[in-house]
A and B are shown apart, each in its own frame.
Chain A
Amino acid sequence: MTELSKSGAAVGEPTGTSPAPSSFLEVRDLKVHFPTDDGLVKSVDGLSFKLEKGKTLGIVGESGSGKSVTSLGIMGLHTAGQYGKRKAQISGEIWLDGTELLSADPDEVRKLRGRQMSMIFQDPLSALHPYYTIGQQIVEAYRTHHDVDKKAAKRRAVEMLERVGIPQPDKRVDSYPHEFSGGMRQRAMIAMSLVNNPELLIADEPTTALDVTVQAQILDLIRDLQKEFGSAVVVITHDLGVVAELADDILVMYGGRCVERGPAEKVFYEPRHPYTWGLLGSMPRLDREQQDRLIPVKGSPPSLINVPSGCAFNPRCPYADIPKDDLTRTVRPELTEVGSQHWAACHMSQEQRERIWTEEIAPKL
């Protein structure tokens, strides 16, 4: 890892790498495109963010917004499952603790995977190999990065299972995934991803496949473990409730781009993008008085092959006609700072958005 920092120092190289950032994780202008028969799928199209250790970033978006592809891109798994010529195209920079991952030697990145950065997936049943015991799978994860014998690795596996709250871990370590309940499986998955004390944990819809009461347990566990390990966490979800529970910062994705990014409080209380308003209005909420009607976003999410020109959200935006000169349909809005550490990409002026939010949207929520 240390010898890799040379790529970080190589300013002005043709690859265009810039100096290593001070943040623990920094993503700069990440693009992940998949060539298909129908055209180029621009799953992620210019995404940037930073994350410090001990903090949690929530990436929110609907299916096809590019949120999962982003996480796979960071892990270097965007080509996973892809064989043959049509490989995913990835560009930009991903800096993890001073190492640029995209220009690094793939085998070095592989060594970071599972050790410095690890991942939890949505469906723990399909994410665990059905033919190996939970113990075998955790032991494998540990021994890939640590030169220890099987016995020691198994002790470590039992220890991790105990830590994530699996009863009788010394017995359950020899069980197969299908013998676990959904919640237990996700706990085992978390144990496996934390076995090497990673500094970055990416959780892709970690509770979507689980029941509400189990979801509460798992969210609690993730929060506790983060406190204990002090790692940086990226939570990817479509559920605003889950991000509100976990995230310090929130990044809202739409059509492969970031439309709003900021501290959780700001994004929930002073959102500055119509899509964020739409998400907040679409959701029935248990913590409020009963709404008469939900305020849905009209239309459907865009195709990532033909992303609408200008602002990707313009066909669904009720305010698309407010900016002059048809700006929303012709010019892609850049992220602009709308408050401290708070950015949004919208052509409407700050004042217009503030007024619409406070007068039209917030009262109806």
Chain B
Amino acid sequence: MSETPKDAAVTIPAQSAGARLTKDAAPGETLLKVTGLQKHFPIRKGLLQRQVGAVRAVDGIDFEVKSGETLGVVGESGCGKSTMGRLITRLLEPTAGQVEFEGKDITHLGVGGMRPLRRDVQMIFQDPYSSLNPRHTIGTIIGAPFKLQNVTPEGGVKKEVQRLLSVVGLNPEHYNRYPHEFSGGQRQRIGIARALALNPKLVVADEPVSALDVSIQAQVVNLLDDLQQELGLTYVIIAHDLSVVRHVSDRIAVMYLGKIVELADRESLYKAPMHPYTKALMSAVPIPDPRRRNAKSERILLKGDVPSPISPPSGCRFHTRCWKATQICTTVEPPLVELKPGQQVACHHPENFEDQAPQDTVLLTAAKEAAALVADEVLAESAETSAAVAAEVETASAEAEAETDAETASAEAEAETDAEAATDAETASTEGETPSKEK
């Protein structure tokens, strides 16, 4: 939280393009900062109900959300993405770590302390059927935040609610109707109107479209888009659907077993994913194109299931299913470091980049089995790109030494030093390059 808004605006280009000012945070300023966030749900057993373990739903994650941007969070069920959403809106109490909103530590605020913040942080839920009270009219539902916060909007609650209804594309005349009179898509709009009532700064949406039909999904996605443009909202959108997340997000965090394995801006992530899990995840999405069916060799099939978050694998949590895993992956947990500007990865042997632990080349037996499921073309291509990137880094760092203006090359140069000190990557400081991820 040390950087000034000006710095941030300069050094983080393009990510918040299109967003306008929120009430008082400049675009690009850090709105939400999460450090070492953990949530363990205890498991009790036996005669005395002693705690015998914990579900490590969220197990130490760091990220920031800048004002006006959309952070997408993807992952499979059980990766902790929903828990994360509930932690940052403080619907759950974190086990450890820190959540800062606009520079203020809100990690352990009580209900009373959170009350003013509830205006600024709102949540949209997945199920538009169960999240609206069937016995209240939508006027009451959308107007409820005003009552709870003791706010009287200009022109009265009713007028404001009707304005909100028209903002989300519903007929303001329907003020007195009940939720059951609306379709799924319309209910999700009601949920959005409720979330917008107090003019929040941050909206956390947990699977906002996954319960909706395809044609309705697009309506809601476009609505979220428009609202961001008009109101300068900041979103954290949690979803399992990678295509939806790509469409809505500026930056994307990929979660696996309670950890962020990759955090990058959209283009980098989808063009050149670095974490093998990200790559597998994206290749698994069925492509709506029958001509590509026979070219399915690019698909990476992961074997088995996600391990239990009660006793996650040692070292890198993905090593049990990864086709690139070596000895180091079982022992040393790879830290999330910025390998390329705007692309943080937690991996010893990243894709599309230079190997972070090149000394460790012997594949685990499990990795060999996993590799059997990956097409040879993919393996070859992956080796090729990694080699190419490595070569590029060599030359780039040579240039960097020669030239004084290291603006563009510094990241790679830094990545190289990083590679040399692969196991001790805590030192991967980014020295003013991007002010974002230092503790």
Binding site for B on A (CB under 8 A): 62-63, 167, 181-184, 211-217, 219-220, 238-245, 247, 264-265, 268-269, 278-287, 290-291, 293-298, 300-301
Interface string of B291-319 (1 = CB under 8 A from A): 11100100101101110000000000000
A92 CA / B301 CA spacing, docked (Å): 42
**B366 at the A/B interface (Cβ < 8 Å)?**
no
Q: Is the CB of A284 within 8 A of B247?
A: yes
Contacts of A214 in B (CB 8 A): 76, 305
Which A residues touch B222, using CB under 8 A?
293-294, 296
Known pairs A62-B213, A296-B219; A244 contacts B289 (CB<8 A) = yes
Known: A243-B288, A284-B218. 7 other contacts (CB 8 A): A182-B77, A213-B281, A239-B214, A244-B286, A286-B242, A294-B221, A296-B222
Residue pair A279, B215 in contact (C-beta under 8 Å): yes
Question: Nearest chain A CB to B171's CB is how many angstroms away?
Answer: 13
Contact status of A212 and B289, CB under 8 A, knowing A181-B305, A300-B183: no
A215 to B301, CA, bound (A): 10
Q: Is the CB of A283 within 8 A of B240?
A: no
Complex CA distance for A283 and B266, rounded to whole angstroms: 18
- Whether B215 and A286, one on each chain, are in contact in the complex, defined by CB atoms closer than 8 angstroms, is no
Which chain B residues lie closer than 8 Å to A211 at the CB level?
76-77, 240, 306
B8 at the interface (CB under 8 A from A): no
* Nearest 7 Cβ contacts at the A-B interface: A241-B286, A296-B218, A282-B218, A284-B247, A216-B284, A297-B215, A211-B76
Nearest B residue to A211 via CB reads: B76
In the bound complex, residues from chain A placing their C-beta under 8 Å from that of B383 are none
Q: Are B284 and A294 neighbours in the complex by a CB distance under 8 Å?
A: no
Chain B residue at smallest Cβ distance from A216: B284
B286 near A215 with CB under 8 A, answer yes
Once the chains bind, are B243 and A212 in contact (CB under 8 Å)? no
The answer on a CB contact under 8 Å between B218 and A212 is no
Whether A244 contacts B293 in the complex (CB less than 8 A), given A184-B305, A279-B214, A291-B247, comes out as: yes
CA distance A216 to B287 in the complex (A): 11
Are A287 and B213 within 8 A (Cβ)?
A: no
- Residues on the B chain within 8 Å of A295, using CB: 218
A206 to chain B, nearest CB (A): 12
**Chain A residue contacts of B382, Cβ below 8 A:** none
| A241 and B299 alpha carbons, distance in the complex (Å) | 14
Q: Which residues of B contact A212 (CB under 8 A)?
A: 76, 240, 242, 281, 284-285
User: Would you give the 0/1 interface string for B265-297, flagging 1 where the beta carbon is closer than 8 Å to chain A?
Assistant: 010001000000000111111111111110010
Q: Among A181, A212, A278, which residue has the most Cβ atoms of chain B within 10 A?
A: A212
A281, B218: Cα distance in complex, Å: 8
The distance from the CB of A134 to the nearest CB of chain B, in whole angstroms, is 16
B415 nearest CB across to chain A (Å): 26
Smallest Cβ-Cβ distance to B186: which chain A residue: A300
* Neighbour of A62 across the interface among B215, B225, B240, B291, CB < 8 A: B215
Distance in angstroms between the alpha carbons of A72 and B132 in the assembled complex:
32
**Does B246 reach chain A (CB closer than 8 Å)?**
yes
Instruction: Find B282's partner among A217, A286, A300 (CB 8 Å cutoff).
Output: A286
* Other-chain contact of A217, B242, B292, B301 (Cβ < 8 Å): B301
B199 interface residue per 8 A CB criterion: no
**In the complex, are the beta carbons of A216 and B301 less than 8 A apart?**
yes
| A286 to B281 alpha-carbon distance, docked (Å) | 12
Bound-state Cα–Cα, A301 to B290, Å? 26
B residues 238-271 in Cβ contact with A at 8 Å: 240, 242-244, 246-247, 266, 270
**B215 and A244 within 8 A (CB):** no
Interface residues on B, range: 35 or more
Task: Collect the chain A residues with CB atoms within 8 Å of residue B363's CB.
Answer: none
A62 to B216, CA, bound (A): 10
- Is B244 touching A284 in the complex (CB atoms < 8 A)? yes
- Chain A's nearest CB lies how many Å from the CB of B164? 20
Do A293 and B288 form a contact, CB below 8 Å, given A62-B214, A212-B240, A286-B246?
no
Contact at A300–B290, with CB atoms within 8 Å?
A: no
What residues of chain B lie closer than 8 Å to A184, measured between beta carbons? 305
Contact B284 A215 (CB under 8 A): yes
B95 contacts A by Cβ under 8 Å? no
The residue of chain B having its C-beta at the shortest distance from the C-beta of A212 within the complex is B284
Q: How far is the CB of A195 from chain B (nearest CB, A)?
A: 23
Residues in chain B near residue A216, CB distance under 8 A: 283-284, 286, 299, 301-302
Cβ B246 vs Cβ A244 within 8 A? no
- The reply to whether B299 and A284 form a contact with Cβ atoms under 8 Å apart is no
C-alpha spacing A147/B28, complex, angstroms: 71
Residues of A within 8 A of B281 (CB): 212-213
Docked-complex contact B286 and A294, CB < 8 angstroms: no
Q: Across the interface, do A300 and B286 meet the contact criterion of CB distance under 8 Å?
A: no
Contact in complex: A283, B243 (CB < 8 Å): yes
- Contacts of A281 on B, CB cut-off 8 Å? 218
B285 touches A241 (CB 8 A): yes
**Which residue of the partner chain, among A183, A241, A278, A285, contacts B215 with CB atoms under 8 Å?**
A278
Closest residue of A by beta carbon distance from B74: A212
Nearest A residue to B213 via CB reads A62
Of A265, A290, A300, which contacts B247 at CB under 8 A? A290
Neighbour of B291 across the interface among A265, A286, A301, CB < 8 A: A265
Residue of chain B at shortest CB distance from A287: B287
Q: Closest Cβ of chain B: how far from A61's Cβ, in Å?
A: 9
Contacts of B221 in A (CB 8 A): 284, 294, 296
Contacts of B214 in A (CB 8 A): 62, 238-240, 279, 282-283
Contact B305 A183 (CB under 8 A): yes
Q: Are A284 and B243 in contact (CB under 8 A)?
A: yes
State how many angstroms separate the Cβ of A197 from the closest Cβ of chain B.
25
Is the CB–CB distance between A213 and B243 below 8 Å? no
- List the B side residues contacting A62 at CB < 8 Å: 213-216
Inter-chain contacts of B247 with A (CB < 8 A): 284, 290-291, 294
Of all chain B residues, the one with the shortest Cβ separation from A267 is B290
- The residues of B that contact A245 with a CB separation of less than 8 Å are 286-287, 293, 296
Partner of A213, one of B76, B184, B186, B225: B76
List of B residues within 8 angstroms of A278 by Cβ: 215
CA distance A244 to B218 in the complex (A): 20
A294's partner among B184, B218, B289, B301 (CB-CB below 8 A) is: B218
B280 touches A213 (CB 8 A): yes
Contact call A220/B216, Cβ cutoff below 8 A = no
What CA separation (Å) do A244 and B287 show in the bound complex? 7
CB distance from A288 to the nearest CB of B (A): 9
Distance in angstroms from B81 CB to nearest chain A CB is: 12
